[in-house]
Every structure is written in C-alpha cells, then in structure tokens.
C-alpha cells in the first residue's frame, strides 16, 4: 500500500505535513533525513505532552500489514523510539493495535529500521492507522524517516496443524485443523468445502471436514489407522458448488509421524493439554526468576512450587543441579539468543551466530533431568516470526524430548505465532486498573480458541508491587505496597477457569525488590504468594483431570469451569471484577452435598442451579458430591 508522503517532504497549506497528523514537539526539518532530505524530528529538554504522529488508510477484514520506519536518536533518555499500527471500526472506535515492546533506544550512530506487524484484521475493521513516536517522558532528539506500510500476502488456508504433540501419535483420535482466513479471500463458509487427504494404512484417502467455520476446518481420525512412519497430511479448499475447482492458494501440507508407541520418557504434551513427564501428568506451578542461587532456592523449595522460570540466558548445568537436588524443574531461556536482540551475548549479531550459540546451549542442557521446557519467546513481535519459527524447528531437531514455550502479550495474534511453539501463555498484569480486571481470563480464553483448544497455556500471574492493588480489601489504610493476596488468588483462578494448564507468578526477583522498596519483609510477601500457590497445588489432581460437565453462568462477570474426579464434580466460580457480583450458575452436577474448598460455597436454588454472591475479586471453589472428612 503506498503511503502518502513517506519521507515528510511534501508540505501543504500553512506548512502542514501532507498526509500526516503532526503537532509539537514533533516537526519536519529539512536536511535531517537519511538522504539529506526532510525528516520528522522530536526534540525536548523536558518531557512534553504525549502525542503520536500518524496517518490512516481504509482497509478490509482479514488482511495483514507490515509497517516500518527508519530511526536515529541523539541524547535519547527515558524511553524508546517506536512504531505502531492501530485498527478502527466504521464509527472510528478503536478496536486493537500492534505495538513494539522493544523499539529503538539511543543514541544511535546510524539510521536503524523498526518494524511492526498487524495480522488478520477482524471483521469490523475498516480503518488502519500507522504511528511513529517516542514513549512518554522521553527527552533528547529523535529522527524518523521513510515510513512504509505494505500489505502482507494472505491465503484462504494459512496453516495445517494437529492436536498431537509435534504431530506425532501412535493411537487414539487425532484431529487435523486447517487454519483458514476466508475473509482475506472474500469467501464465506457456505462458499467452500474442505477436504483432507490422509495416508491410511490401506492407501491414501480423501476425508471431508467434520466442521468448517470462518477461520478453521477440522477432521478427526484414528491415528492407529494411518500409515506407519512419517506421512504427509494435506488439506484442500474447494468450491462448494461441486465444480471441484480449487480456490487460489488453497492447499497446504504437513509431516505427521505415526509412532509405534506413545513416548514414555522425557517431557511432552498429551491431547488434554497436560504436561507429561516420564509418562506421568504434571501441573507446572512456579515463579519467574532472574538468576539462580542456592540461598533463594532453599527458601523457594520450602514452598508449594515444582518448577521455576529463570531469565538467566547463561544457565549452567551446575545451577540445574541445584534445582534437581530440591526436586524442582527449570525452564531454560533461549529468548535472548536471537540476531535482532540489541544485547545479544558473545557477539551474536547474525542469524548464524545466534543459531550457533543456541545450539551450544541446547546441546549442553538437553539431557539434564531438571529441564522442563525451552523458553524461546517473551513478547517478541511477529516481525521476527521467521527467526522464531526457525528457532522452534532447531529446538525440535536438537531436543525432541522437551517442548518450547512462547509467552505473548499479543494474544489476538496467537494464531500467527502458532508455527513457532508447543506451549503458549499470556501475561496480563492488571496493575490496579479495575477496567483491565477481565484480562487474566479474557487473554487465555482467546488463546485457547485460536489454538483450537489444543495447545497448553502456561499463564503468568501478577504478584509484583502495585500501589493501587491493596485498596478495597480492608486495607485502605495500609501503605502502597504489594499485590493483595485476594487479587493474586483471583488472577490465578481466572486463568484456571479460562483453561490454563500451568501457572507462573511474576516474579520472585520483583517481589524481593518491591518488598524492600515498601518496607515489607520479603518472607511475609513470599508467604502470601505461597498461600495462593498452595491452594492450586492442593487441587493438582483435580486440575489434571480430563473430564468435566456442562456449565453456564448468567453473568458475563462470572468465570466458571468444572472438573470431575472420583465421581465428584468440582466447581470453580470467579468474580472477574472489583465489584460485588451476583448470578446463577447452571451445572450438570449430582444433587449431593456442596462442600466449600475455597471461599464460600454457592447456594443451591430449588431448580438445582447455584446462586452466588461474590465479593470483589471473589473466588468460590466447591466439591459437589458425597461429603468427605479431612480434605
């Protein structure tokens, strides 16, 4: 898509910048550009009012776009130079946006390119806006030039996946999912039909899709009926009129391996999104860390945790030994070993350098008994999807016995990250903003949908300092401090009812820092995190159950989920806001005793429904069935 006045050369009436909305502290300066022409310049000695220079375009649903700009900075302090894409509905209402977490910091000697990607705009998107800007509170001088927005080619079929871990299975049902983008092809589900060509043991057969929607089609077959070894699965999109003519760009294939037996060693993911270690289900429960040391591990190991997520990109076997000695598993950080990382270690500046370093790291640690998974993406944007997908394939090739985990704030773009991970997750930190309080369930709910409900979600839960967090829980007179235990519990259970199959509290190192900042004994702050985590740990066998019963709530503020175990139904109800909430929950449960496990047990109405009256951020977890003593 041609952008108007990409180099800021054209001026209109009164000195306006053609095509752009620009105001102070931004201005166009002649001779400041990359080629000696004009450039957009931000200059401030003290932080000025916040503004984003921008330009807009009309767009259609389903399309994808990449924006880029060239950036240079002098004396830049307090933030970054950034670029964004935002999309709006027909009434000008903001829908969503794609933003850089890691932009460009200064000073810079040369011009550098920054990029951002917006994929598969939703059905109600009609307007796209590109912005180049610096963060709030920045001082110094920043230059922007040669802005570009291009449409990324899209296809009616964007990908093909299965619900088997790394497309390998020996027996049982296996579902193949076609990732569709019918909007981009101006198609509707009623216009097309999907067919899957699968290699059965008696010969290749074409099987029609069991289901077809705007953005997916699927078929389920018995894995044992497929040809043994590596085989090719293919999906095609055809006209529904029976002509047999394929749509353009409408077929895709993947390699699938029909195993002789399911794996019994290593770490893998089963069809229920559970982590399996050496054949046994495992519910990951941990915290984010910085580095690993013996003193902190001794304290941590006395808590309810079974694993941790250290950020140290130079983790050693000796540090993993310390974890193993305490019965802990550790995820190993690969997120910093990319060529685009400005702080890439040991001179990694090219793809080859980064790949070589990652290979050495993987080979060094892949056989350690404390290794849980490889953490290879922490909020990295889609502009780097090719390198992240290549890293995922490198992990697959070098270590088939441990999965790869990708943490995203870009939860609406999860489908486009799908080729690059085994496990995903989101990190919604409401940070005291009450209007954000549905995010701990909204984000994983969207991820679960966009991974066809078949990829594990290991969710990050906030436990670090928040000056507003304690208000409303009888602590109004307490000094600003750490996240209230009621909020931590609520965020954890919001994630669980939304389908999370692992919980990691963020973070051990921030908790230590913030406890010291606010004069709270770290042991007390850590004890509150442990209390919430212990409640999750206590019901680990329930959370690992693969059975459930139907449930429905009459309020959008109530998050609900069930599990069944030993003939009993376990019912979780979560208030997703900072206000009292009442409602009715209908669940297919026995007419037996309702035993409270967390919070107050919901009351049962004469018609069998449950009536709840939850306090702000309240959580109710109950067992429905024959009462048992001592649980």
At 424 the pLDDT is: 98
Q: What single-letter DSSP state applies at residue 628?
A: -
pLDDT confidence of residue 102? 78
Q: Is 225 helix (H, G, I), strand (E, B) or coil?
A: helix
* CATH code, residues 157-258: 2.60.40.10
Q: What is the 3-state secondary structure (H, E, C) of 140-180?
A: EEEEEEEEEEEEECCCCEEEEEECCHHHEECCCEEEEEEEE
Q: In the prediction, which pLDDT does 348 show?
A: 54
pLDDT computed for residue 398 by the predictor? 98
CA separation (Å) from 185 to 65, 159, 482?
Answer: 15, 15, 49
pLDDT in tens, 348-381: 578 999 999 999 999 999 999 999 999 999 999 9
> Given this model, what pLDDT does residue 469 score?
46
Pairing verdict, β 127-134 and 458-462? unpaired
Contact 392, 385 (CB under 8 A): no
Whole-model pTM? Answer: 0.93
Instruction: Please list the rounded mean pLDDT of every run of 10 residues in the chain (631 residues).
Output: 91 93 96 96 94 96 96 90 96 94 78 95 96 94 96 94 96 96 92 95 95 96 96 92 57 94 91 96 98 96 98 96 98 94 62 93 98 97 96 97 97 97 95 85 98 97 66 50 83 98 96 84 92 98 97 97 95 95 92 91 91 95 71 42
Spatial CA neighbour of 484 closest among 430, 443, 557, 444 = 430
Closest to 518 measured CA to CA, from 476, 474, 483: 483
Q: Where are the domains of the chain?
A: 13-152, 157-258, 270-543, 551-625
Query: How confident is the model at residue 596, as a pLDDT?
Result: 96
Among candidate residues 464, 267, 289, the one with its CA nearest the CA of residue 371: 267
Distances (CA, A) of 258 to 222, 255, 262, 348: 10, 10, 10, 38
The Cα-based distances of 232 to 160, 238, 247, 392 in angstroms read 11, 19, 21, 20
- How far apart CA 207 and CA 457 sit, in angstroms, is 30
Which CATH number describes the domain made up of 270-543? 3.20.20.80
Q: How far apart are the first and last CA of the chain?
A: 63
**Nearest 10 degrees: Cα torsion 157, 163, 169, 172:** -120
The matching CATH number, chosen from 3.40.190.80, 3.40.50.300, 3.40.1550.10, 2.60.40.1180, for 551-625 is 2.60.40.1180
Q: Is 163 exposed, middle or buried (0-12, 13-18, 19+ CB in 10 A)?
A: buried
Per-residue pLDDT, 279: 94
Same fold, 157-258 and 551-625: yes
Which parts of 400-545 fold into alpha helices (H)? 414-417, 439-450, 485-497, 508-517, 522-538, 540-543
Q: What is the pLDDT of residue 631?
A: 42
Q: 13-152, superfamily in CATH?
A: Galactose-binding domain-like (2.60.120.260)
State the Cα–Cα distance between residues 357 and 361, nearest whole angstrom: 6
């Amino acid at each position: 898509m041609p952008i108007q006045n990409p180099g800021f050369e054209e001026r209109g009436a009164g000195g306006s910048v053609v095509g752009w909305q620009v105001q102070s502290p931004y201005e166009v300066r002649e001779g400041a550009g990359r080629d000696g022409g004009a450039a957009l310049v931000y200059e401030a000695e003290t932080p000025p009012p916040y503004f984003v220079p921008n330009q807009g375009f009309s767009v259609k649903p389903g399309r994808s776009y990449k924006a880029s700009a060239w950036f240079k900075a002098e004396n830049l302090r307090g933030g970054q130079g950034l670029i964004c894409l935002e999309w709006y509905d027909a009434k000008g209402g903001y829908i969503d946006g794609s933003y850089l977490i890691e932009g460009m910091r200064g000073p810079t000697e040369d011009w550098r390119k920054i990029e951002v990607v917006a994929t598969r705009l939703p059905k109600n998107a009609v307007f796209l806006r590109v912005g180049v800007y610096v963060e709030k509170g920045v001082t110094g001088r920043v230059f922007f030039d040669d802005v570009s927005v291009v449409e990324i080619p899209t296809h009616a079929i964007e990908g093909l996946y299965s619900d088997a871990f790394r497309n390998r299975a020996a027996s049982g049902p296996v579902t193949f999912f076609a990732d569709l983008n019918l909007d981009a092809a101006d198609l509707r589900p009623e216009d097309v039909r999907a067919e899957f060509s699968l290699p059965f043991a008696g010969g290749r057969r074409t099987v029609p899709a069991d289901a077809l929607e705007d953005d997916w089609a699927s078929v389920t077959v018995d894995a044992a009926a497929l040809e043994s070894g590596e085989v090719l699965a293919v999906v095609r999109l055809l006209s529904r009129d029976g002509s047999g003519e394929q749509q353009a760009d409408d077929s895709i294939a993947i390699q699938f391996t029909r195993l002789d037996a399911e794996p019994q060693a290593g770490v893998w993911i089963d069809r229920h999104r559970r982590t399996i270690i050496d054949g046994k289900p495992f519910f990951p429960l941990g915290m984010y860390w910085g580095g690993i040391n013996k003193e902190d591990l001794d304290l941590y190991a006395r808590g309810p945790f079974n694993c941790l997520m250290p950020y140290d990109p130079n983790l050693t076997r000796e540090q993993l030994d310390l974890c193993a000695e305490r019965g802990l598993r550790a995820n190993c950080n690969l997120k910093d070993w990319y060529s685009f990382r400005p702080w890439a270690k040991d001179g990694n500046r090219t793809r080859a350098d980064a790949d070589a370093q990652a290979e050495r790291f993987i080979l060094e640690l892949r056989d350690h008994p404390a290794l849980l998974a490889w953490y290879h993406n922490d909020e990295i944007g889609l502009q780097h999807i090719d390198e992240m997908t290549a890293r995922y394939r490198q992990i697959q090739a070098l270590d088939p016995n441990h999965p790869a985990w990708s943490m995203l704030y870009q939860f609406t773009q999860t489908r486009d990250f799908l080729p690059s991970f085994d496990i995903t997750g989101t990190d919604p930190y409401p940070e005291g903003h009450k209007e954000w309080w549905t995010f701990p369930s909204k984000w994983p709910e969207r991820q679960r949908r966009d991974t066809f409900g078949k990829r594990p979600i290991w969710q990050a839960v906030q436990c670090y300092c928040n000056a507003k967090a304690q208000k409303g829980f009888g602590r109004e007179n307490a000094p600003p401090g750490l996240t209230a235990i009621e909020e931590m519990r609520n965020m954890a259970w919001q994630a669980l009812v939304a389908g999370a199959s692992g919980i990691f509290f963020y973070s051990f190192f921030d908790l230590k820092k913030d406890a010291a900042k606010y004069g709270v004994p770290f042991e007390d702050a850590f004890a509150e995190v442990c209390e919430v985590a212990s409640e999750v740990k206590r019901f680990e066998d329930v959370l690992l159950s693969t059975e459930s019963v139907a449930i429905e709530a009459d309020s959008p503020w109530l998050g609900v989920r069930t599990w069944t175990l030993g003939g009993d139904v376990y019912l979780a109800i979560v208030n997703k806001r900072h206000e009292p909430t009442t409602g009715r929950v209908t669940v297919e449960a026995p007419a037996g005793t309702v035993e409270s496990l967390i919070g107050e047990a919901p009351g049962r109405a004469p018609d069998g429904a449950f009536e709840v009256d939850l306090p702000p951020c309240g959580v109710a977890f109950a067992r429905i069935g024959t009462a048992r003593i001592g649980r």
